[in-house]
Amino acid sequence: MTLEVIILAAGKGTRMRSALPKVLHDLAGRPLIQHVLDTARELSPDRIHVVHGHGAELVREHLADAEDINWVEQAEQLGTGHAVSQALPDVNPDARVLVLYGDVPLIRAKTLRAMLDQSDDSHPALLTAELNNPSGYGRILRDGKGAVTAIVEEAEASQAERQIAEINTGFMACPAGRLQSWLEEIDNSNRQGEFYLTDVVGRAAQAGATVSAVGCQDSNEITGVNSQAELAQVERCFQARQAEALMEAGLGLRDPARFDLRGSLRFGEDCVFDINVVVSGEVRLGKGVSVGPNCQIIDSEIGDGVEIRANSVVEGVKIADQCAIGPFARLRPGTILESGARVGNFVETKNTTLGEDSKANHLAYVGDATVGQRVNIGAGVITCNYDGANKHPTVIEDDAFVGSNSALVAPVTVGKGATVGAGSAVSRDVPPGQLALTRAEQQVRSGWQRPKKEKKN
């Protein structure tokens, strides 16, 4: 049988207390629904249908690049059964349907495969779980032989039924044609006045279909997000999963509970992260990279033997082998560090290439600059690259020395082997091998007295 996936994503998420549709809230750098879509794609379905409602335009805008989605509008939120019925006209009646949820992002593909293996062209399968506290979930009802006969929602359950520990997770696999006929038989005569997808199970059992129940061993997989607190809970669970997988692959994490990956990370041997490191976007590390505490790395490529010291931010950069960054450094997009370069504490770079073995060790801003090899940039040096309307380049050639507290007013070139004396404001090119000084000559006035405050009586 072919497989088609229906993802229910029409809920408003009132408890989130946010203008953003619930399924677009961020989990590890991606919307909740993106995680569900990625899991669905692991199953290689023939089609994916997303039932949307509240904030439909925003949801579709965020997923505009997803060409494999068939969008289905649920104009009125009349329950899960109603939501699924909106998508079924677009589903091949000979297919098998898998129902997923846009706000339940931790479900694993292997768990869904286990459930799919128990369904066929005549019989549905459910994913169930046994919880110590089943409050809020529908309960699985079985007959004396253990066969599933129905699901009762908690609001409709008797006191005895509420004591049942086996719950419905909401995930279901069912032949599309039979699902359509069973949905046509259910009604909304319940306390919520909704059409429950769970009522299909009772109809299936009454029709003589065997309803298979597959147990979910990890209750985290079925955790839905309905509030900011639940979102935070799911985030920590997802991050723990990622940290475990990364350590299994060889990454050293000083404390896996204090590490966040909000994108993808590739790394070589012997890389070690200290606490509170956040990796976002696409990041690639070479071998032997060391990252200190409280660092953020975003969309960057980092070579072998690089040390990123505490409290540094690295974004959109390329760092060659054996470089050192930080502590308290900020490397902004467009920065390229060549082999052996060093960027120290309270140094900021942007759209800058720092050549081999060059260094800006402290308290400098280097922007829109091309810096050659073995250049020393002293403390307090600024490349004045912006005139209020346009950015201008600074070129510092090999073996130049820029003294502390100097301003290089772009466009300007400091020639090979040239020296800029400390405290200079350089607005014209400095020839190779020459010394540029612009500070006023020091004067000493003998006999001068510092003013003193008069004592009050």
Per-residue pLDDT for 457 more than 80?
no
Q: Does residue 124 contact residue 212 with C-beta atoms inside 8 Å?
A: yes
- Together in a domain, 53 and 202: yes
Q: How far is CA 172 from CA 141, 198, 323, 366, in A?
A: 16, 9, 53, 57
Selecting among 52, 82, 362, 392, the annotated active-site residue is 362
261 SS3 class: strand
- Together in a domain, 324 and 427: yes
- Together in a domain, 307 and 256: yes
Residue 335 lies in a domain: yes
Domain count, the chain: 2
- Together in a domain, 180 and 123: yes
Pairing of strands 166-175, 125-130: antiparallel
Determine the Cα–Cα distance for residues 112 and 107; give it in Å rounded to an integer: 8
Q: Above pLDDT 90, what percent of the chain?
A: 85
Residue 395 lies in a domain: yes
Determine the Cα–Cα distance for residues 266 and 276; give it in Å rounded to an integer: 18
- Together in a domain, 409 and 375: yes
Report field, pTM of the whole predicted structure over 0.85: yes
| Token code pair at residue 149 | 């006969």
More confident residue, 13 or 92: 92
Q: Among residues 253, 224, 219, which one has the least CA distance to residue 239? A: 253
Determine the Cα–Cα distance for residues 301 and 32; give it in Å rounded to an integer: 27
The CATH number covering residue 412 comes to: 2.160.10.10
- Together in a domain, 90 and 218: yes
CA dihedral 266, 269, 275, 281 (to 10 degrees): -10
Q: What pLDDT is stored for residue 425 in this prediction? A: 96
Q: What pLDDT is stored for residue 111 in this prediction? A: 97
The chain-wide mean pLDDT, for the chain, equals 95
Provide the angle, in degrees to the nearest 10, between the axes of the packed helices 80-87 and 176-185. 130
Residue 347 lies in a domain: yes
Q: What pLDDT is stored for residue 55 in this prediction? A: 83
Residue 453 lies in a domain: no
- Together in a domain, 267 and 394: yes
- Give the tens place of pLDDT for each residue, 72-109: 998 888 899 999 999 999 999 999 999 999 999 999 99
The CATH number covering residue 66 comes to: 3.90.550.10
- Together in a domain, 71 and 138: yes
Q: Tell me the residue range of the domain where 154 lies.
A: 3-222
The amino acid at 322: Q
Known catalytic membership, residue 362: yes
Q: What pLDDT is stored for residue 385 in this prediction? A: 95
- Give the tens place of pLDDT for each residue, 409-447: 999 999 999 999 999 999 999 999 999 999 888 889 999
The sign one gets for the Cα dihedral 46, 90, 115, 66 is: positive
Residue 211 lies in a domain: yes
Q: Among residues 258, 81, 61, which one has the least CA distance to residue 186? A: 81
Residue 89 lies in a domain: yes
Determine the Cα–Cα distance for residues 344 and 318; give it in Å rounded to an integer: 16
Residue 258 lies in a domain: yes
Q: Does residue 25 contact residue 34 with C-beta atoms inside 8 Å?
A: no
Determine the Cα–Cα distance for residues 26 and 108; give it in Å rounded to an integer: 18
Q: Which of 222, 251, 272 is the endpoint of a domain?
A: 222
Q: How far is CA 434 from CA 122, 177, 418, 419, 428, in A?
A: 88, 85, 5, 6, 13
- Together in a domain, 206 and 248: no
Determine the Cα–Cα distance for residues 42 and 61; give it in Å rounded to an integer: 23
Which residues, 6+ apart, have CB-to-CB distance to 288 below 8 Å? Answer: 268, 269, 270, 271, 304, 305
**Position 67 confidence tier, pLDDT thresholds 50, 70, 90:** confident
Residue whose structure tokens are 């004592």? 455
- Together in a domain, 165 and 236: no
Pairing of strands 359-367, 324-325: unpaired
Residue 158 lies in a domain: yes
Helices (H), 45-146: 56-62, 80-87, 109-116
- Together in a domain, 169 and 305: no
Determine the Cα–Cα distance for residues 200 and 191; give it in Å rounded to an integer: 17
- Together in a domain, 158 and 251: no
